[in-house]
Structure 1
C-alpha cells in the first residue's frame, strides 16, 4: 500500500515539475514572440498609430495609397519566376515587386489587423522557401558577386532587408512550425549566402556591403540570432582577404584599419559632416539600409545608442544629403549619379521621417516631408504627420556649405556656394574631395552651376539607364568608364589629353585635393578655392571660384581662376559643358562638314570637333540661350590659343551617350599659366512676345592685372564702365592676415585671403 502511495506521490511531483517546466518554457516562448514587431514597427508604436488613425491627413493618405497598391497586387496572385536575367527583365522586376509588396503588406497587417495581408506574405514566403534551396548562383555572370534570386548579391540583399520587415510583422501570427521551416530553408541559408559564402561582397567598405550587412542584421534581429547581428555589425573573419584587396568593381574590401561590417561602413565612408564619399546618388541608395537598421537597433538594442555613433553621423548625413540638392530637390550628380534622382525618392521619405523622430525634431525637415507628400507607415511617419497637422513646418534653408570628405574630414570637401540675385537663385558646386570609392570619377577641382534648379554648366553624371533592359540589362554601360569617369568629361583642367592619375583608380584613391579657402560670410561675394597636387606629375592646379550676386551690378556672375604651375610645357584643356543654342561669339569660327574626334583615348574619342578658332584679341566672349535665358563666358585669351566647339557622341554606335555640347579653351606648349573666365547670367527671352531682354553680356573686358606666386588680380570692366577688381592671396588663406599690394600705381589694402571692391 505504501509503495503504491509513494508511486502516486512521485508521479504527482513529476507532473507538477513537468508542468511547471512546460509553463516556464511557454512563458519564455511567449516572451520571445510577444516582442514582435520590433524592427520598423513596435508593439507600442502600432498602438499609438491606431489611436491616431483618421486624424492625420498625410498618414491616412499614405496608408490608403499603400492599401490600394497592395490590394491590387494581391488580386494578381503570387508570382515567383525562375531567375534568368539582369536588371529590367521580367523576373528581376517581379522579384522586386514581391519584396516591396510583402514589406507593405506587413505594415498593413499590423496597422489594420486584416489577416489577408499576413496570409499573402506567408504564401509568398513559403514559395520562396521551396524555391531557394534549388537555386544556384544566378546564370548571368557579369557581377563580381552573383546572387541567387537576382544577378548580383546587392539585389538579393535588398530582398532580404525588405522581406525581414514583412517576416517581423507576421512573426507571431505564424505557427512555430512555419517559422522553423522558413528559417531553416530560406532565411538562415540566405544570410549565410550573402556573408560567409560571398565575403568579397559582404566584407567591403561600399554601399553594396551596407545592404549586405543590414540584410543579415535585420533577419538576425527578427530571429533573435545574436551571431547574425554581430556578423552584420562587425563583418566576418575570413582568411585570404587582405586590406588592400580590390575586386573588379573597384571597391576596397576592407577599411584602412582592416575592419568590416555595418559599423565600419559608418566609420569610413562618412565624414564628420555627414558627407558620404561615394556621392549623393549612392548616399541616397545606402541611406535606407543605414537608417532602417539603425531604427531597428534602436528598438531592439537601445544600449548600442546607434544614433549617437560617431557623434550622430547618421542624422547629420540626412542634413548633408538634403543640402546636396538643387532648388527642385534633385541631387547634384557628383561621381556616378543619375540625373533626376531627388529627395522625393522613397529612401529620402524614410530618412526625413527617421531623422525628425530620432533627432531634435527639426521643424525644417517637416517642410521637406510636406513637399514629399508621403510618410513612412510607422511611428516616425506618424510623428511627422502629426507635426504637419499642427502646422509646425519651417522652410528648409539651403545655405552655402562646405561638406568635408574622408572619415576624419581631412580628405578635401564639396564646396557649395548659394546666392540670390533678385529672383535668381544661383548655386555653384565645386568638387575637391577624395576619389569616392568605386563610384568616383577622375574630376578633381571640377564644378557645376545651377540657376533656379536648372543646369547652366553641367556635370555629365553616370552613363547608365537603370533598370532599362535594352541598355545592357540596366547595368553600367562601357561608356561609363570610357567617357563619364574621364577627366575631359568634366569642367576641370585636363593635362596632355590624359585623365587625372592616368585613369587609375588605385592611385586616385590614395590622394585627395586640399581645401585652400571657403568663405561665404559676405552673401554678395562668396569664394571657394582648392589645390590639387597629385593628379598629374609635376603639375599643381589651384582653382578659385567666386560667386558674385551683388545687386548693384547688372547681372550675377561666377569668376573662375585656374592657376597652373608646372616644370614642363604641356597642353591644357578647360571645357565648359553648357546646354542650349549658340547665340554669338567674337571668335571667327572655322567649321567643317567632315567631323573628327578630338583624340583617341581618355574620353577624347567620344568628342566630335564641330568648330575651332583662335582668339582675335585678348578678350573672348561666347553667348548661348537655354530655357529662355542668356548666358555668356567671357575669358582672358591670347591669340596663339585655341577655342573648340565640340559635342559628345563620337564612337558611340549604340547611342548610349547624350549629344550635349561643349566649349573648350585650350592652351598649348605652356608650363605656368592662368585660365580666367567669367560665367554670367544676363538676360531673358520671351517666346510669346518674341522679346529679347539684355541678350548681350554686361561685361566689356576681363584682364589679368597682376600675377605671381603670392597674388593673382583680375579686373572686370562692365559695359556701363563700372569696374571690379578681385585679388586672391595664393599662399595665405588666413582670414586675419593684412595684405598690401600695388598694381600700376594703385595701392590695395585688405584683411583676409581675398579683395573685392564691391
Structure 2
C-alpha cells in the first residue's frame, strides 16, 4: 500500500511536469530578436563610457524626439516612391524601430507608448485597407505600391514590436497579431506568391519580414514559411516582375534558398553590389534574429559562413571613396556609408572574426547599431584596435558553386580596374560580358553607366526604373566591351543570357608589377569567341602604372565590331583629323545605338590612334593599335531622350568592319597633373610612342610597348594554356623566347 502511494505520487508529479513543461519551453522573454535582455543590461552598464555608441544613441534620440513632437500620421496610401504617403509610411517604420530601441536602452515609457499608439492606428487602418491604388507593380502591397516596400515595413516594425512586447497587455498583443501582423505576413507571402516564391532580393525582404514577425510571435508556421517558402505553389514562368525579370527560378524559394543560390562561395551576390547592399540588411538582421531565437540553426555558418564572407566581398567592391562599383543595375554614389552597411559592418565584426579592418570603416561611418554588435564595434574603436581595411586585387567567383564567371578587381597604387565576366545577374543584369571600368583614386576614368533611374524622386517616373534602363543602360553598347553588328550580347534577352556566362582564363596577381585578369566568352554571339585580357603594369619608365587591354576575337562569320570607351573628362587632343557634323543624328536605330549622338567621325591615319583628356586635375591618354580602315567616332549619350532621363556623357568608338578574326589592343595611361590655382600643367603628354602587335596566332599574342625614351617592353600571352607550370618556347623575328607560366613580360 505504501509503495502504491509513492508510485501514484511520482506519476502525479510527472504528469504535472509534462503538462507544464511545454509552457516553459515555449515561453519567450523579450526583447529577443535583435536586442536581447542580457544585451540591454550590458549596454546600459556601458552608457557614458563608449564614445561612438553614446554619440550614435544621442543622435538617434534627437531625431526620434523631433519626429515624435510632430505627432503620428498614418495616411491612406496613394503615392508611388517619393510621394508623401509613401515617404510617410517609410519614415514611420524606421521611427517605430528606433523608438523601440530607445525604450529598451533608456527605459523611458514615452517611446513604448509612441510605438503602441502608432501600431494601433495601423491596426485600425489595415483591417479594411484594400490593395494599393497604383497598379503598376506585379505584386501590389497595401501600405505601399509594391509588396517589396510592405516587406521593408514589416522587417522594421517586427523589431519595434519585439522591443515593446512586454509593455503591451496580452489583449493588445492579440489584437495586433490577429488584425495587423498575421494578415500583413499572409499578404506578403500566401497572397503574393509571385513576389515571395523566388530567389531575388525582393523575396529576401519578404522572407525576412514573415520570419521576423514569426520569431516575435513565436509562430512556427510563419518561421517555416520564411525559411523554406510556401509548399505546392506553381507560378507562371512567363510572368515578369517590375524590373523585367522572370519570376520563377526552378521553384526554389525561402530564406535559405536565397542564401544558397545568389551568393558564390566567395560571397559575391549575383545581382551586383548595389542590390547586395540593399539585400544585406534583411539577410543579416533576420540572421541575427535567428541566431538569438533559434541558435540551433547556426545560420551564420550556413553555406560555409557565406553571409559573413559576403560583407568582405561587398566592401572590396567599392572604390577608394567607399562608393560601390555600379555593376548591373546600380546607382552611382551608393556607398558603405549607407545604413545597411553600418548593419553589415557591425554584424560581421561581432559574429565573425573581429576583423580590425572593419573597425576602421566603422570609424568612417561614424555610427554603430544600438545592439550587442554595435557595442562590440564601439568598444573596439574605443580601445584603439582599428586597422586600415586593406583592399587588394581580388577575384570573386559568381554562381552558387563559384563556376559562373565572376568579377575581378586589379589594384595598383591609386588605380582600380574592375573587370566583369559574371553571370546574367537575375533581372538586374546587364548585357555586358567582358566589360570593364577604370578608376583613379576613386574617380571614374572609364565609366560603367549604371542604371537609368532616379530612386525615390517622384518627378522621374515615380522614382522607379525608366524605360531607358532597358533601351540604353542594359544594352551592350552602353558599356566598355565589344559589340558585334550593333546587336547586344545574347540578343538582349534575359532567358538566353541566364543560360550562359564567361569563363575565367587567368587571374595572376603574384607579381605586384604586372597583374593580369583574363576571361573568355563564347555565347554572347553564336559562332564568335571573345577572349579579353586586362593588365595593370607598373614600370619604372612610367610615372604611374598603366592599363593594357588585349581583346582577341575569333568568328566563323564576317562582322562589324564596335569597341566603345566611355571616358570622363574634357578632350585635349587626338592624333587624327575628324569631321564634326552640322546636324546631329543618332548612331543607330535600336539596341542602345538610338541613344547615341554621332558627334565626330574619322578614319585611322596611323598604326596608333591616340586620344587624350583631362579630368579632375589629371591627364589620361588612350593609345590603340588600330588598322588602316578602322573608323573612329566621338559619341554622346542623349539621343531620342526627350525627357532628359539620360546623362549627356561622352564616348569614343573604334569601329572595325568586314572582319572575322581580329585583335583590339589598347593602353590607358594616367599621368601628370594640372592646377587651376597655379595654372601649371605637368607631364601632360603620353609616354608611349608605339603600341604594336608583334605576333597574333591561335596560341600566342605578343604586344610591344615603346616609350618616348626608347625603352621597349614585350608582353607575350599564351592564349590556350594558362597553367603556371607550362613551359613555352616561341620564336619571334628570329629571336627565341622561353618562359614558364601563362605570360612573358620583359
Tell me the TM-score normalized by structure 1: 0.95
Cross-structure match for 2:7:
none
Cross-structure match for 1:471:
460
2:188 counterpart (190, 194, 204): 194
Q: Report how far residue 537 of structure 1 moved.
A: 1.6
Cα 1:381–1:95 change in 2 (3 A) is same
- Verify the 8 A CA contact 1:205 1:251 in the aligned structure 2: no
1:461 counterpart (450, 458, 465): 450
Tell me how far apart the structure 1 counterparts of residues 629 and 80 of structure 2 sit (CA, whole Å).
52
- Verify the 8 A CA contact 2:198 2:247 in the aligned structure 1: yes
2:708 counterpart (719, 731, 738): 719
Cross-structure match for 2:359:
366
- Verify the 8 A CA contact 2:193 2:233 in the aligned structure 1: no
Q: Report how far residue 30 of structure 1 moved.
A: 8.7
Q: How does 1:117-156 map to 2 (within 5 A)?
A: 117-156=111-150
- Verify the 8 A CA contact 2:243 2:465 in the aligned structure 1: no
Q: Report how far residue 363 of structure 1 moved.
A: 1.1
For 1:628-666, what per-residue CA distance to the aligned partner results, in whole angstroms no more than 9, with x for missing partners? 111011011122110100100000000000000001111
For 1:508-556, what per-residue CA distance to the aligned partner results, in whole angstroms no more than 9, with x for missing partners? 0000000000101111100000000000121110100110123443342
- Verify the 8 A CA contact 1:33 1:172 in the aligned structure 2: no
Cross-structure match for 1:354:
347
- Verify the 8 A CA contact 2:245 2:494 in the aligned structure 1: no
Cα 1:247–1:462 change in 2 (3 A) is closer
Cross-structure match for 1:654:
643
For 1:110-143, what per-residue CA distance to the aligned partner results, in whole angstroms no more than 9, with x for missing partners? 0000000000000000000011121111111111
Q: What SS is found at the alignment partner of 2:116?
A: helix
- Verify the 8 A CA contact 2:138 2:240 in the aligned structure 1: no
Cross-structure match for 2:626:
637
Cross-structure match for 1:532:
521
Q: How does 1:606-617 map to 2 (within 5 A)?
A: 606-617=595-606
Q: How does 1:72-221 map to 2 (within 5 A)?
A: 72-221=66-215
Cross-structure match for 1:233:
227
- Verify the 8 A CA contact 1:619 1:701 in the aligned structure 2: yes
Q: Are 2:304 and 1:311 aligned?
A: yes
Q: Are 2:284 and 1:291 aligned?
A: yes
Tell me how far apart the structure 2 counterparts of residues 502 and 136 of structure 1 sit (CA, whole Å).
41
Cα 1:59–1:339 change in 2 (3 A) is same
Q: Are 2:581 and 1:588 aligned?
A: no
Cross-structure match for 1:14:
none
- Verify the 8 A CA contact 1:164 1:218 in the aligned structure 2: yes
Q: Report how far residue 384 of structure 1 moved.
A: 0.5
Cross-structure match for 2:379:
386
Tell me how far apart the structure 2 counterparts of residues 144 and 587 of structure 1 sit (CA, whole Å).
52
For 1:232-289, what per-residue CA distance to the aligned partner results, in whole angstroms no more than 9, with x for missing partners? 0000024432678654644454444x32100000000000000000000000000000
Tell me how far apart the structure 2 counterparts of residues 638 and 645 of structure 1 sit (CA, whole Å).
18
Tell me how far apart the structure 2 counterparts of residues 65 and 514 of structure 1 sit (CA, whole Å).
48
Q: What SS is found at the alignment partner of 1:228?
A: helix
Q: What SS is found at the alignment partner of 1:608?
A: strand
Tell me how far apart the structure 1 counterparts of residues 601 and 360 of structure 2 sit (CA, whole Å).
49
Q: Report how far residue 313 of structure 1 moved.
A: 0.3
Q: What SS is found at the alignment partner of 2:706?
A: strand
Could you tell me which runs of 5 or more consecutive residues in structure 2 were left unpaired when the two chains were aligned: 1-11
- Verify the 8 A CA contact 2:472 2:595 in the aligned structure 1: yes
Q: Report how far residue 695 of structure 1 moved.
A: 0.8
Could you tell me which runs of 5 or more consecutive residues in structure 1 were left unpaired when the two chains were aligned: 1-16
Q: How does 1:63-78 map to 2 (within 5 A)?
A: 63-78=57-72
Q: Report how far residue 21 of structure 1 moved.
A: 9.0
For 1:175-207, what per-residue CA distance to the aligned partner results, in whole angstroms no more than 9, with x for missing partners? 000001100100000000000000000001000
Tell me how far apart the structure 1 counterparts of residues 411 and 604 of structure 2 sit (CA, whole Å).
33
Tell me how far apart the structure 2 counterparts of residues 254 and 268 of structure 1 sit (CA, whole Å).
13
Q: CA RMSD in A?
A: 1.7
For 1:308-339, what per-residue CA distance to the aligned partner results, in whole angstroms no more than 9, with x for missing partners? 00000000000000000000000000000000
Q: What SS is found at the alignment partner of 1:645?
A: strand
1:44 counterpart (29, 38, 52): 38
2:418 counterpart (418, 426, 429): 429
Q: What SS is found at the alignment partner of 2:138?
A: coil
Tell me how far apart the structure 2 counterparts of residues 238 and 619 of structure 1 sit (CA, whole Å).
62
